[in-house]
Amino acid sequence: EAQVTQNPRYLITVTGKKLTVTCSQNMNHEYMSWYRQDPGLGLRQIYYSMNVEVTDKGDVPEGYKVSRKEKRNFPLILESPSPNQTSLYFCASSLMAATNEKLFFGSGTQLSVL
Amino acid sequence: GENVEQHPSTLSVQEGDSAVIKCTYSDSASNYFPWYKQELGKRPQLIIDIRSNVGEKKDQRIAVTLNKTAKHFSLHITETQPEDSAVYFCAASSENDMRFGAGTRLTVKP
């Protein structure tokens, strides 16, 4: 079954404590991206990756890092989380090679930073 | 960069009526326009998309229209059903820059 798997689904942490949200896809997709969803703001792109070892900033990259060491995994790293990073996060991969079209989203990670 | 505005923010219709959601975009280079549906507590899912070389696309009860000159595109849902209740997001993409609208919460009343 085609899947984009995010972990954890829910996370409560404290300011400044480094965390990683994992994302893995089993569809051999080249394009992967991270979004955050906040009420009234829709989905905003944090980072995206066109392929292994290729990453680029999206609209709201401040405070986040990513890596793409292998095609299937695209972890999101918060080195020093702050309360304004409390949000619902989605990882996505694209069904179309080398584009952001036809995105397939993971189930989401609800992050609360206290 | 691209800016996408979506209206209305909430929409309530009676079952069987039609629903229309409209989006405008600012970047004339945008060439791909998808629509995503997000049910409560679920992930966004692609329901229909259109490229800039096409003016209209239809898939059963769902259709999307694009007016490149006016830089707006719309989602039309006919014969609405309670299971159509969800938040709908439009998006506009140029190269790898995709921007989403703020979303429309559609409620279909039985």
Per-residue pLDDT of B34-66, as tens digits, reads 999 999 999 999 999 999 888 999 999 999 999
For A6, the closest chain B residue by CA position comes to B43
By percentage, how much of chain B surpasses pLDDT 90?
89
Q: How many CB atoms lie within 10 A of CB B32?
A: 19
Left if phi > 0, otherwise alpha if psi is -120 to 50, otherwise beta: which for B47? alpha
> Is the Cβ pair A103, B100 closer than 8 Å?
no
Asked if A105's CB is within 8 angstroms of B43's CB, the reply is yes
Q: Are A105 and B43 in contact (CB under 8 A)?
A: yes
Q: How many CB atoms lie within 10 A of CB B26?
A: 13
Tokens of A8: 């954890």
A101–B contact, CB cutoff 8 A: yes
Among the partner-chain residues A40, A44, A100, the one whose CB lies closest to the CB of B96 is A100
Question: How far away is chain A from the Cα of B42, in angstroms, using its nearest Cα?
Answer: 7
When CB atoms are compared, the residue of B36, B43, B102 closest to A40 is: B102
Q: What is the mean pLDDT of each run of 10 residues along chain A (114 residues)?
A: 92 97 94 94 93 92 97 97 98 81 94 97
Contacts 24+ apart (CB under 8 A), A38-47: A38/A87, A38/A88, A40/B9, A40/B102, A41/B102, A42/B4, A42/B6, A42/B89, A42/B100, A42/B101, A42/B102, A42/B103, A43/A90, A43/B44, A43/B89, A43/B91, A43/B100, A44/B100, A45/B98, A45/B99, A46/A76, A46/A89, A47/A76
CB contact, 8 Å: B34 with chain A?
Answer: yes
Q: Do B43 and A43 touch (CB under 8 A)?
A: no
Query: By the CB < 8 Å criterion, does A3 face chain B?
Result: no
Q: According to the model, what pLDDT value does residue A98 have? A: 64
pLDDT of residue A100: 80
Tell me the nearest-neighbour CA distance from A42 into chain B, angstroms.
4
